[in-house]
Amino acid sequence: MDLFTTFKISGSALKANRVRLNTISSNLANVETTSTPEGGPYKKKSVYFETQPITFKEHLDNKLNNSIQGVKVTKIVEDQEPPQKVYNPDHPDADDDGYVAMPNVNVLKEMVDMMNTTRAYQANATTIKAAKRMAMKALEIGR
């Protein structure tokens, strides 16, 4: 595998993890949002990744016939779980019984997902830095 393939794979992972971090941030920012333009409380969003297949040209150019793939975001899906009902008759969005439909966002789970995504992002950034250092060392040897 050459250095440019390393950059391509890690770069695709960086983009995908950035989207996931933004989605998690949106979930955390809306943990108390009880009214949205679509109606009802905010619904948690989840990001789905998929391997990104290489193109036919890239496959032909690959001499060892290894399947080198990156990662891409395939979809961002709203969670279909029902909202949590919290008794708060003073809230402006309370129903006739005094219950407010709250978003189905679990803050603890979102924080764990954020930590995992941050670690994956850091690992890919470190991979790119290491590949860059190797390329620079190879150029220094050639002098």
Q: Is 56 exposed, middle or buried (0-12, 13-18, 19+ CB in 10 A)?
A: exposed
Neighbouring residues of 57: CB distance < 8 A, sequence distance ≥ 6: none
Would you place residue 21 in the very low, low, confident or very high pLDDT band (cuts 50, 70, 90)? Answer: very high
- Write out pLDDT tens, residues 79-137: 988 999 999 999 988 898 999 999 999 999 999 999 999 999 999 999 999 999 998 99
Averaged pLDDT, 12-22: 95
**Number of domains observed in the structure of the chain:** 1
Give pTM, 2 decimals.
0.81
Distance between CA atoms of residues 87 and 101, nearest Å: 9
Q: Which domain holds residue 73?
A: 3-141
